[in-house]
């Protein structure tokens, strides 16, 4: 019994010492981070990262109705962006210009004319390239050196200048400028000059596709229509100076 009490006392002393060490480390960390960052009037930065097109609604059909074997696959693309930031105490404005390559894939089966038989499922891959102009307004929740954490929201104007379609291993390219828009919500983390960004682009409208709009597409696809609602999730990192 006495031996057990001694072991308990020794254990309590070790726990006490460990607790004191942890408390001292926390106090030191708190003191180190207590000084708020004095942000300059303006910053600028660059970031690179990945984006993922996420489907919220998908329906492939033609004049006869819904097409069987209709599936949608999310794929990753990538982005390169530059941005500026104007600081007003905890509030900031952040205009951006970003180059994005978006990828997505879907499949469907179309009927053979005047029969109840369907062709083998066709796989359609879509790669689009765009220049996005974003204007964000944000708020820094944490501003303790060397850390900065802010949330932001704002609109995006998306200018798509090229779309490549690959269907049944045949490649078709459509070069024309189309404008679209989206709403952005996200947050950014700074560790000194290193910048991390995670954002969600809400529901891109007008993302439906009439397949007969693809140049030189075979006639059997002409009445295929794909109704879809998409959103974009992206993660990027870079430097903010």
Is the pLDDT at 23 greater than 80? The verdict is: no
Contact in structure between 123 and 72 (CB atoms under 8 Å): no
Most confident of 4-13, 110-119, 127-136, 227-236: 127-136
Q: In DSSP terms, which residues pair with 219 in a beta bridge?
A: none
Most confident of 96-100, 121-125, 145-149, 207-211: 96-100
Output the pTM of the full model. Answer: 0.79
Is the pLDDT at 82 greater than 80? The verdict is: yes
Give 203 or 90, the one with higher predicted confidence: 90
Q: What is the pLDDT of residues 173-213, one digit of tens each?
A: 999 888 988 999 999 999 989 999 999 998 776 788 898 88
Is the pLDDT at 32 greater than 70? The verdict is: no
């Amino acid at each position: 019994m006495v031996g057990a009490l001694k072991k308990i006392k020794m254990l309590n002393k070790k726990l006490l010492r460990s607790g004191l060490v942890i408390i001292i480390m926390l106090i030191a960390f708190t003191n180190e981070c207590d000084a708020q960052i004095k942000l300059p009037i303006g910053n600028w930065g660059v970031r690179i990262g990945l984006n993922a097109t996420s489907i919220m609604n998908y329906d492939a059909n033609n004049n006869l109705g819904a097409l069987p074997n209709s599936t949608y696959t999310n794929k990753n693309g990538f982005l390169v962006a530059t941005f500026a930031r104007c600081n007003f105490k905890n509030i900031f404005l952040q205009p951006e210009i970003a180059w994005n390559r978006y990828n997505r894939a879907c499949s469907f089966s179309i009927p053979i004319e005047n029969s109840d038989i369907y062709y083998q499922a066709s796989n359609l891959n879509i790669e689009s390239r765009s220049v996005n102009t974003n204007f964000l307004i944000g708020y820094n929740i944490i501003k303790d050196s060397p850390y900065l954490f802010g949330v932001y929201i704002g609109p995006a104007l998306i200018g798509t200048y090229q779309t490549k379609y690959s269907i049944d291993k045949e490649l078709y390219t459509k070069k024309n400028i189309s404008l679209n828009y989206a709403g952005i919500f996200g947050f950014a983390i700074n560790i000194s000059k290193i910048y991390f960004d995670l954002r969600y682009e809400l529901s891109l409208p007008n993302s439906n596709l009439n397949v007969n709009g693809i140049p030189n597409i075979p006639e059997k696809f002409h009445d295929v229509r794909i109704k879809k609602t998409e959103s974009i999730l992206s993660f990027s990192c870079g430097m903010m100076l």
